[in-house]
Amino acid sequence: MTQDLKFVIVGDCDIGKTTLLNVYSNGAISENYYTSVLNNYIANEMYNEKSISMSLNDAPSQVELSSIRPLLYENADLYFICYYIDNQQSLLSIRSQWVPEIYSFCKQHGEPKPQFVVIGLKDYQHRDDDFQPNNVLDGQAETIAKEIGARGHIVCSLLNYGEVQKVFKLGIRICLDKKMKNFISITFNQDNQELIEEYDYNQGELYQALTGIVEKKGGDQSISISKGDIVKVINKGLLSLTIEKDGKTGKVPKGKLRTLYPGHIVYQQSMKHSQPVQQTKTETSISQEQIHSTEQQQIIHDTSIPKRPPPPIPKQRVIPPNSGKSEDKDIEINIPFNTSWKISDFEQKERLGKGGFGIVRHVIEKSTQSHMAWKEMDYEEEKEKEMVNKEKDQTLNICRIITKATSSSFLHVVQPLGFFISDDERKAYLVMEFCAGGDLRKYINNMKKSGMEISPQKAYQMIGYIAISLIQLHASGIIHSDLKPENVLLTEDFKVKLADFGLSRQLQVGREYTTNHGGTFLYQGPEILRNKSKAQVGEENSIPQKIIQTTYADIWAFGVMMFELLAQRHPFFNDKTEGDISAEEFIHRVVDLPPAELPDHYPLKLKNLIKQMLVKDPSQRKSAQEILEVPQVTAALEGK
């Protein structure tokens, strides 16, 4: 019986990864080989007296082929990530490009957590005559391999077939030997002797600090973390993480850390409306003629990708109209947007909020004395620039779409006013309109501090304004994806404007769901957390399902926020009485248990309306339009 495995080889251009496949398939470097758009080789090895058939897929490295590359990622059993030993940048790209890109694909398409082996290549003839060596430091590659959660690291010569063969035999062992849990390091000395080291790989998850942290533990003991430090998380609570660094442990709030490789989408700035380069096969613009124009390889060249059955589509009662959808490539809406401002043009006032990716501050534009807000974000690393530019483009694009699609004179989205970069090019500033009422989180917290509660009339009014905001989005096929009290801003007259569209998605024409999903854990619905729970359990025989998201994901988050508005606590845990519960326990409650009861003194119809937003089956939740049509909501908006 033959066991089939799929390996994908990725890495920077001109480092020898295609040569690696060429040597393995031919026994030596061929003088006549050449690359093509999608290279696929079939090779066979024996492992424990079993025949192993390997599909070896050479992913193109060129930027212009980045939209094609993910076609090869589907159903991969293992990724070989290559670097060249005298090209340090190719090693650093593993962290900055290849691992985030692969993680992003796997998360978007419901793939299992990817497995990596890092391969150091040597004895390669570079095509670039001007190449200047910049050697990888001793131990640097192995450290990075461990940081990204790789299963192993191997260095091999492209002039030695035996060493090349070891690469693929290691890949087979990692995939098939379920008992092998350790990190494996393989190198070869000058006498071609194989040196193997194994390390205990029970590391926990790796996170990166977004800011400096000092966690006091009493006496002289404390744990200190600088911005950018990588720490090991040994226990997860719902609100905090227990970390370990330099042999010390401590608890820090979740907002201070981010997962080291959270799967951020890499954006190609030259693409219109800054669309993500990761795409499913059906979403890719590459033509069949372009794919089939590639040349045959010496073994087998096969560009076909196995198809999975499509995920079930939840029933949707309202199909968003076509107006404002993604086929409107050129939107002729003129929104004033200033890109010539400088920091000195503003008077800085109080800080309004701080999140994982920036600080929001109230500012006054000096020449007009206009009150505005800016979001200050780090802008040094390439990944930071990509994320900032994506948020800017996304916010502008959504504002234009809503402006074009709505007949209302009041936009329920925060309008972007400008963007500029600091003189030292270390910070970027997205300038937005100022909402004097603060955000919904501040509103809820102020009620808690003062011992007050919101009246039913005011609650219905808030529900109505948020419903209108979501209607403006959903009617244009936009899912916010990160609704939470911090992203619901209030004007002086209590109207609502939605903010922070960094994770928003626009549905394709004729499609009612997306496999992209994001958002804040506490506000994600059971349809998303259910599959996250399966991935965390890691059952060997479980088949991961694609996580799909519809507009009803926003309705769930809407319901959680309204529950918090009335009860001043989350519907599935009470931080005052329970403290910090585990993430696994929280997922269990959201997926399997009903929400807590709202306070008795609120009207039954109001409580039932919020419960209808928190129905487990997304297809049975009320739409934003149906919520707006509830008589009590309509009456509250009309001031009755």
486 is in an annotated binding site: yes
Residue 17 DSSP SS3: helix
512 is in an annotated binding site: no
**Nearest partner of 182 among 146, 154, 147, judged by Cα:** 146
> CA-CA distance, 469 to 412, in Å (whole number)?
5
- Residue 330 appears among annotated catalytic residues: no
Phi/psi for 251 (5° steps) reads: -105, 135
**Which stretches within 237-341 are classed as H helix?**
288-292
Q: To 5 degrees, how large is the angle CA 570–CA 583–CA 547?
A: 95
45 is in an annotated binding site: no
> CA-CA distance, 428 to 376, in Å (whole number)?
6
Q: What is the token pair recorded at 500?
A: 């922070």
Q: What is the token pair recorded at 122?
A: 């040597």
Whether the CB-CB separation of 41 and 26 falls below 8 Å is answered with no
> CA-CA distance, 517 to 265, in Å (whole number)?
11
Residue 134 DSSP SS3: strand
- Give 174-236 as a DSSP string: HHH-TT--SEEEEEE-TT--EEEEEE-----EEEEESS-EEEE-STT-EEEE-TT-EEEEEEE
Q: To 5 degrees, how large is the angle CA 82–CA 83–CA 87?
A: 165
Q: At what angle do helices 604-613 and 552-567 cross, to 10 degrees?
A: 140
Residue positions counted in the chain = 640
Q: Which of 12, 439, 482, 554 is catalytic?
A: 482
> Rounded to an integer, what is the distance from CA 234 to the centroid of its chain?
22
DSSP state of 72: G
375 is in an annotated binding site: yes
Q: Which residues contact 65 (CB under 8 A, 6 or more apart)?
A: 37
Give the CA distances from residue 509 to residues 69, 319, 327, 420, 521, in Å, rounded to whole numbers and listed in that order: 24, 10, 7, 33, 28
Helix (H) or strand (E) holding 534: helix 526-537
Torsion of CA 235, 241, 245, 248, to 10 degrees: -80
> CA-CA distance, 523 to 70, in Å (whole number)?
29
Supply the residues annotated as catalytic: 482
Binding site as annotated, residues for ATP: 375, 486-487, 500
Residues flagged as binding site: 375, 486-487, 500
